[in-house]
Amino acid sequence: MSRLRFMATLVALAVAGALAVILPMSPASAAACATPWSSSQVYTGGMTASYNSHNWQAKWWTQNETPGNADVWADQGTCTGGGGNPPPGGSCNYPNWVAGRNYVTGDIVKYTNGLYYQATHDNPGYDPTISTWYWSPYTCTGGPTPTPPPGSGGFVVSEAQFNQMFPSRNPFYTYNGLVTALGAYPAFAKTGSDTVRKQEAAAFLANVNHETGGLVYIVEQNTANYPHYCDASQPYGCPAGQAAYYGRGPIQLSWNFNYKAAGDALGIDLLRNPYLVQNDASIAWKTGIWYWMTQNGPGTMTPHNAMVNGAGFGETIRSINGSLECNGRNPAQVQSRVNAYTRFTQILGVAPGNNLSC
């Protein structure tokens, strides 16, 4: 190669190198958002939808399964423009909350009370109105504005109706104590339609009516039973004394392990201070609502779930005292509860529904 051609080649290479430095590649931009995900849309494997500023690809047939569930959807990365979900304050078109479905931080759902909630931590479908750690209220425009039902603090039973239900009640069982206790479980009598809410309130109060003789009795009347409610096999024993865990309150909470469980759930040391249930109206009501919302008892579901999922009043009886009353064991006791329930639903102006007996 001649010296001239050699120098020309070096110049060309230098120019090419300089161009490589001074002409950077255009950065890759985020993909455009696909059509927003819809809870009513059927998606088959390979179809895409946008949700929370990400594109998602369905792995197989799916409907009403929120993107973010890795078993069903594959995350295709962030997206901009096009579809996507509305920003905070935007229009409300979010999917309905589904119990037991996995949600990731940022997911927005519409709850059965007509309000919207955003996941503040990943969770396996916890109730938005119970878990304030995993969910927080979300405000958006254009959505329905639920009308609070009548009563104090949004409770479907007014004080006048409460007094009509319990004309001979013990002054200990105050309406204010009941309303205050509602804060421990916000989903109580606030889940589902107005009809369902009233039915649940009537069902709870009907069982309470039976357990306490019309809200007359605060403590169990058969004192001979008192020493029998200590299960000494529990590691924590009965620190308040063997005869301290007799029935108290609207659901007649009894046994040391129930006082322990209720106290742990409510943040009150009822194991060592069971007498609080007969001395503090709000605590008494809270123990009743605790059982209603969280315990299956001898049944297969909580009384709350029995009412909001349509199983009927009879299943609440089974969950409270089914082993002694249901399946023909004590029809008179069952009828007593049913009579109170139908009377209370009449006071609230709502049909009692089906499956009244157990």
For the chain, the structural domain boundaries read 42-78, 86-142, 159-348
CATH superfamily of 86-142: Carbohydrate-binding module superfamily 5/12 (2.10.10.20)
Which tokens belong to 15?
């120019």
**pLDDT higher than 50, residue 8:** no
Give pLDDT, residue 7.
38
Span 320-348, mean pLDDT?
A: 95
- DSSP output for 33-97: E-SBP-TT-EE-TT-EEEETTEEEEESS-EES--TT-TTTEEEEEEEEEES-PPPTEEE--PPBP
Q: Which position has the higher pLDDT, 94 or 303?
A: 303
**pLDDT higher than 60, residue 260:** yes
**SS3 category, 262:** helix
pLDDT band at residue 116, thresholds of 50, 70 and 90?
Answer: confident
Give pLDDT, residue 133.
64
Which tokens belong to 257?
């392990």
Closest CA to 172 of 284, 291, 340, 287: 284
- pTM of the full structure: 0.60
Gap between the Cα atoms of 38 and 220, Å rounded: 54
Positions marked active-site: 211
Strands 62-63 and 108-110 come out as unpaired
Give pLDDT, residue 48.
83
Span 58-73, mean pLDDT?
A: 73
Q: Whose structure tokens read 């940022």?
A: 106
Give pLDDT, residue 140.
67
CATH architecture designation of domain 159-348: Orthogonal Bundle (1.10)
Span 108-121, mean pLDDT?
A: 80
Give pLDDT, residue 151.
42
